[in-house]
Structure 1
């Protein structure tokens, strides 16, 4: 990883923690280690005053995992 994570067409750039790296599979997806992996953005990345959708592809590496978010509607 070169120190930044791209925000696609939004033009935003995030800073990865040491537990984040680019995977060689699935087109170069961001891989988080499950402990400290994260990407921090310099400001808001979603305008929560408007409707938005979040989508993710996740693959657990072990038998002991849980779904952190599976929710619809407003929070």
Structure 2
């Protein structure tokens, strides 16, 4: 897994609050973003984003990690 790519995927999903919009921004299939984020969360050992059928929102760990990513 490319950690830098995974961080970029996470940041874009976080900022857009949408897998679909983030996928369009990154010109990648939505399934690729889902797979990348799932692998990244497993590697980190924590859930970064809470997902529902209508919303994507960060967990507390996700908020903290986002702040580190953008620095």
TM-score by length of 1: 0.23
Higher relative contact order (CA 8 A, sep 6+): 2
* Structure in which a larger fraction of residues adopt helix: 2
* Structure in which a larger fraction of residues adopt strand: 1
TM-score by length of 2: 0.24
